[in-house]
Structure 1
Amino acid sequence: MGRAATRERLFAAAIELIAEHGFAATTVDQIAERAGVAKGTVYYNFGSKAGLFTALLDYGIGRLAATLAQAAEGREPLAALEALVGAELAFIGEHESFARLLIAEAWRSGGGDWHRAAVLIRERAMAVIDDALRAAVAAGDLRADLDTETAAAAVFGMVITVALQWRTLQPGRPLDEVHQTLMDLLRGRLAG
Structure 2
Amino acid sequence: MGRTATRERLFAAAIELIAAQGFTATTVDQIADAAGVAKGTVYYNFGSKAALFTALLDYGIERLSATLREASRGRKPLAALEAVVGAELAFIGEHESFARLLIAETWRSGGGDWRHAARLIREQAIGVIADVLRAAVTAGELREDLDIGIAASAVFGMVFTVALDWRTLQPERPLADVHATLMDLLRGRLAG
Alpha-carbon distance change, 21 to 155 in structure 1, aligned in 2, over 3 angstroms: same
Matched, 1:165 2:173: no
What pairs up with 1:134-173 in 2 under 5 angstroms?
A: 134-173=134-173
Q: What SS class does the counterpart of residue 183 from structure 2 fall into?
A: helix
Give the Cα–Cα distance (whole angstroms) in 2 for the partners of residues 145 and 110 of structure 1.
39
Match in the other structure for 2:66: 66
User: How many residues were matched structurally?
Assistant: 192
How big is the shift at 1:90?
Answer: 0.4
How big is the shift at 1:152?
Answer: 0.5
Match in the other structure for 1:15: 15
- CA deviation vs aligned residue, 1:148-179 (integer Å, no higher than 9, x gap): 11111111011111101101111111100000
Alpha-carbon distance change, 89 to 44 in structure 1, aligned in 2, over 3 angstroms: same
Match in the other structure for 1:43: 43
Match in the other structure for 2:93: 93
Match in the other structure for 1:191: 191
Match in the other structure for 2:80: 80
Matched, 1:34 2:34: yes
How big is the shift at 1:110?
Answer: 9.7
Match in the other structure for 2:54: 54
CA contact (8 A) 2:32 2:39 kept: yes
Give the Cα–Cα distance (whole angstroms) in 1 for the partners of residues 89 and 156 of structure 2.
10
- Runs of 4+ deviating beyond 2 Å: 108-112
Give the Cα–Cα distance (whole angstroms) in 2 for the partners of residues 144 and 40 of structure 1.
55
- Root-mean-square deviation (CA), in Å? 1.3
CA contact (8 A) 2:105 2:112 kept: no
Give the Cα–Cα distance (whole angstroms) in 1 for the partners of residues 171 and 34 of structure 2.
25
User: What TM-score do you get using the length of structure 2 for normalisation?
Assistant: 0.97
Q: Structure 1: where are the runs of 5+ without partners?
A: none
CA contact (8 A) 1:109 1:115 kept: no
Identity %: 81
- CA deviation vs aligned residue, 1:73-100 (integer Å, no higher than 9, x gap): 0110000000000000000000000001
Give the Cα–Cα distance (whole angstroms) in 1 for the partners of residues 79 and 119 of structure 2.
26
Give the Cα–Cα distance (whole angstroms) in 2 for the partners of residues 191 and 109 of structure 1.
37
CA contact (8 A) 1:18 1:101 kept: yes
How big is the shift at 1:112?
Answer: 5.8
Match in the other structure for 1:107: 107
Match in the other structure for 2:122: 122
Which range moved further: 112-121 or 182-191?
112-121
